[in-house]
Every structure is written in C-alpha cells, then in structure tokens.
Amino acid sequence: MFKNILEEEMARRSVFKDSSKLLPDYVPKTLVHRDEEFRQLARIFRPALESRVGQRALITGSVGVGKTVLAMKFGEELKSAAKKRDVKLDYIHVNCRKQKSPHMVMQELSNHYLKLPPRGFSPEELLKESTKWLEKHDAYLAIALDEIDFFIQQNGPDLLYALTRSGEELGALGRISIIAIARDQNFTRSLDAGTQSTLMHNVIHLDKYSAVQLVDIMNARIKEAFKADAVEDDTTTLVADIAARWGDARLALELLWRAGMLADDEGKSRVTPEHVRQAKAEIHPEVRKEALRELQLHEQLVLLALARRLKLSGQAYAMTGEVETAYRVICEEFDERPRGHTQLWEYLKHAEELGLVDLQSSGKGQRGQSRRISVPDVPVKSLAEELKRLLKARK
C-alpha cells in the first residue's frame, strides 16, 4: 500500500525541479546583493592566508538578511583559497542555539579532528586537545559561531573568551580564526574589554533587503528550484512585497516553497499569487476578523470588491479603477448607493492603515493617480467569504 502511494507521488507532475534549493541550509553558488560584504570578509581574513595569523570578525543583522549563508559561502571559498596556497585550513560552522552548552560546542570542534569520548573532558581540555592537533599538523581553523548572542545570554562569555585567547594561552600562534554571528552588537557589552576589542574592529552589518533585492534573490533561486515558467512574475513580486516588510529573504524563500507545494497539491502547472496568499496564511494565519468586523459598511463593500476582483483576475494586484468598477457592482448586489471616488480612496487608505491591504504607485503605463492594490496576507477567497458573512449579518 505505502509503496503504491510513494510511486503515485513520484509520478505526479510538479512545479519543482529541485525544491531543496529553497531550504534554509542550502548555500547557493552565488550570493545575490552581498558582494560588498563578501569583499569585506576577504579583506579581513587575507592575513590568515598570507601571514598565518588568526582573524576575528562579527557579522550582524536581523533575521533573514543572509548572515549564515554569507559566512558559509565565505567558509567554502576560504578553504578553497587556502588549498591553492598549500595551507591546511578548515572551516566549521556551529549553530550555538542547537549546541546549547560550551561542552557541546567544543565537542563538535574536537570531533572534527579527534575521536575523543563524549565524557571525561572539560570544554577547556577539548579546546586544548584540538589546538595541539592543529599545532602538530601545522593546520588552521576558521570557526563560525552562529547565534552567539543567544548562546552568551544563556551561558555567559567564557567560551568566546577561551577561543579568542587560545592563540595566546596555548601557544597556537593564531591558528583559530573566528566569525561570530549575531543579530546585533549589544551582546558584546557582557564581554571583557579584550574580547570585545577583538570583535569590534571588524563588524560587518547586513541591512535588510528591499523588495527589488528580494526579487533578484528569488529569481536566482527560482532558476535552480522550479521548472521553466512555473512561477508567474506577479507571484514573485507579491512574495517580495510581503517579505520586504521585514527585509527577510528566508521568509521570501519559505513562501515560495510553500506556494509551490500548494500548486503541486492542486495539480497546477504554475505558482500563482493566490498560492502565495494561502502560503502566507499558513505561516501566519491572519484573516483579521476583528478588524473586518469594525469596518464601516462601505469599507467592507470596497474590500469585498477588491477580493473578488483579485480572485477573478488571478493576479497579485488590482488598479483603483478596477476596484471602483467592482465596488459599484457590489453596491447593486447589496442594494446600496455607491460612494464617490474620493470617499472610496479614503476607505482604501484606512484599510492600509489597518494592515488589510497594500497601496503602491501604479508604475509605468498607468495614467493619473491610479494605484496598485494588493491583499498580501490572506487568500482572497477566505477574505471574500468572511466579508460576505459579515455583510449578510448586517442585513
């Protein structure tokens, strides 16, 4: 039975070519919009290859701005550059949120070189044994400590202190380089002056991505993850507009992945804006019934007109003129006299203030003051159903 289910699933048509290219742990061949930050890391770590001197850097930025993937991609390139120069250098990436204690972090480090028993060694001893191995084999290590701010909050600064001082105290001559990764620099306040100094000289802050940058990032991944023409341009634009609120590429890629899975579930050959809205609702269910209930009658009618227009067109956006036309039809349906253009625009601006819609400039090819309107957070089908229920209740 299960074998048949698996065979059926494998035979099904899919929009994906390789969905793993959208997952958080995938390191792409090229980093989009992080060239300058990569160059900064290269400048910082140049002495690690030329003079065999351990270096320190701190990468900061909010969730989804590419801190982890930047460090991992740089680690790959650093290893490759070292090999060309006959330098034995390895890169280890440690997620300090998963490795919850100093002992677990040091165990992961030492296991890379040594086969030591899981118990019987303190974190300091594990570091010492690893450093001895590096000395004996004339080798070097670059270690990335991801989410180090969370780790220090839970465990204190001793681990970072030990690693930054390993060259001085253990005679390792700077064989260990460190890339610390954190959301911001505030965690450094709990460090001693010396450790703080070693990190704060080389801080690389990653700004949030803009909607335009997110489109570029997604287009690069879409080529790797999806079949040709499987993702509509409107779909990518809508995902970018949603994720740009936080500048979060991770959210953008997760929305793409979920939207693609929904398209597969429906047997569709293309990923549409409605799939994105459904995916967004799964991540953060946001049919905001309280906000909808408190709207005036004609505000609800305007939103219903927008939802129906988007559902009918299958597009990510509707123009104000299209919504106004649909609104007049809705008013006839509910036996209401439609309000004028200026009042309709006020309704839309209020809906934007409540976070129910997004209003944007019309772009090329549109006349006058027309605006593009989208519903980014919920499936328009769900929005229309809830509004229709509320409007019937008013009657």
Taking 70 as the threshold, does the pLDDT of residue 364 lie above it? no
Q: How many domains does the chain have?
A: 3
pLDDT of residue 116: 66
Residue pLDDT, tens place only, 248-263: 999 999 999 999 999 9
Higher pLDDT among residues 288 and 197, named by residue:
197
Residue pLDDT, tens place only, 48-84: 999 888 899 999 999 899 999 999 999 999 999 999 9
28 in any annotated domain: no
121 in any annotated domain: yes
40 in any annotated domain: yes
pLDDT of residue 170: 46
Query: pTM of this prediction?
Result: 0.81
Judge if 198 and 312 occupy the same domain. Answer: no
Residue pLDDT, tens place only, 290-306: 788 888 899 999 999 99
Judge if 105 and 47 occupy the same domain. Answer: yes
Domain CATH for 293: 1.10.10.10
Could you give the percent of the chain with pLDDT greater than 90?
61
Residue pLDDT, tens place only, 34-43: 999 999 999 9
196 in any annotated domain: yes
26 in any annotated domain: no
Judge if 224 and 178 occupy the same domain. Answer: no
pLDDT of residue 112: 84
Residue 4 neighbours by CB distance under 10 Å = 8
Taking 50 as the threshold, does the pLDDT of residue 159 lie above it? yes
Higher pLDDT among residues 226 and 162, named by residue:
226
pLDDT of residue 167: 55
Residue pLDDT, tens place only, 83-123: 999 999 999 999 998 888 998 998 888 888 877 666 678 88
Domain that holds residue 60: 34-205
Judge if 190 and 50 occupy the same domain. Answer: yes
